[in-house]
Amino acid sequence: MFNNPASLWHWLGLRPLARHVVAPGNGSATAAPLAPVVHCRRASVDGLSIFYREAGAADAPVIVLLHGFPSSSHMFRDLIPLLADRFRVIAPDYPGFGHSDAPPASEFEYSFDRLAGVVDSLLDQLGVESAVFYMQDYGGPIGMRLAVEWPQRVAGLVVQNANAYMEGVSQAAIDVFMPLWQHGDETNARKLLLPATTRFQYEAGARDPAALNPDAWTHDQATLDRPGAAERQLALFRDYQSNVARYDAWHDWLRSHQPRTLIVWGKGDPFFTVAGAEAFTRDLTDVELHFFSTGHFALEEDALPIAALIRKRFAPD
């Protein structure tokens, strides 16, 4: 569809910077689009070194990208440049994920309250007073905690395969979590840490698995293979039941605050079902729902159209 960068930028309605390129053989200069610069930064938060990616103008409207399991801000590598000309984009890695510090579970509480607190403190440091929150997988419960705690900070929500309703929980997810919660049986939960499962999370439901970039699941698995990672992730698996316990409160918050919301959902997701996406429309009025023929990590195949929807819905005129 896009034979050159200029056609891509035109389709998205971008106005890229120009750089001069000398054409071989004749020494003439032509203008070519220059992609936004994505900075890789660190901040000290509660004694931890927290990694985050940032792009865009400091005074632009903010969009905060909250990643899922077992990924990191790496999952937004294609999306960030597509938004950075209209937004200040901030994508953190939670403690224990990506390039952020990963203290042992014996020294740090791996809970969703704690991860949300770290993100909250980071946003305070960065001076973020208002933002659109993009929530995927674990980003859902983290983003909803931030929204409930600081509703004035929420300029809108983008929900991408982040569940908040019981009807969105698939049997595959039940089979992982219920034995752990009810009997302390870690057998199925530990299977989520295996290389084959990490790859499965990317390929299941994808319309063209052979076109997926294997760097994505290789990057994720490298973090899962680090010393102490199993204990860190199992602690979060156990704590996930605290998210389910808050579903009703989150629904009340959505109904009372009615944030402008965009739902973009990979309908082939084996863990979070289409019904979970549709359930949001029960509590929200200012909402758009779009399904994509892809899986849990929809940005791997559909970063371009998802970026276009975000820009149309939230970018300033």
Which two tokens mark 273? 């079902």
Q: Are residues 281 and 141 in the same domain?
A: yes
Q: What is the pLDDT of residues 189-207, one digit of tens each?
A: 999 999 999 999 999 999 9
Q: Are residues 128 and 204 in the same domain?
A: yes
Alpha carbons 233 and 136: distance in angstroms, whole number: 17
Question: Looking at the predicted structure, is the pLDDT value of residue 88 above 70?
Answer: yes
Nearest to 126 by CA among 74, 77, 73, 53: 53
Q: Are residues 108 and 214 in the same domain?
A: yes
| Size of the chain, expressed as the number of residues it contains | 317
Q: Are residues 11 and 98 in the same domain?
A: no
Q: Are residues 4 and 56 in the same domain?
A: no
Q: What is the pLDDT of residues 114-130, one digit of tens each?
A: 999 999 999 999 999 99
CATH code assigned at 236 = 3.40.50.1820
Q: Are residues 282 and 219 in the same domain?
A: yes
Q: What is the pLDDT of residues 23-62, one digit of tens each?
A: 445 555 555 557 789 999 999 999 999 999 999 999 999 9
The pairing of beta strand 39-45 with beta strand 29-34: unpaired
Amino acid symbol at 210: A
Which residues have a catalytic role annotated? 296
Q: Name the domain count of the chain.
A: 2
Which two tokens mark 85? 């000309």
Alpha carbons 152 and 131: distance in angstroms, whole number: 9
Q: Are residues 174 and 310 in the same domain?
A: yes
Q: Indicate the pTM of the whole model.
A: 0.90
Which two tokens mark 220? 């994720």
Q: Are residues 127 and 31 in the same domain?
A: no
Reported as a pLDDT band with limits 50, 70 and 90, residue 316 is confident
Q: Are residues 166 and 241 in the same domain?
A: yes
Q: Are residues 25 and 125 in the same domain?
A: no
pLDDT at res. 31: 54
Q: Are residues 189 and 63 in the same domain?
A: yes
Domain holding 10, by residue range, is 1-35
Q: Are residues 11 and 108 in the same domain?
A: no
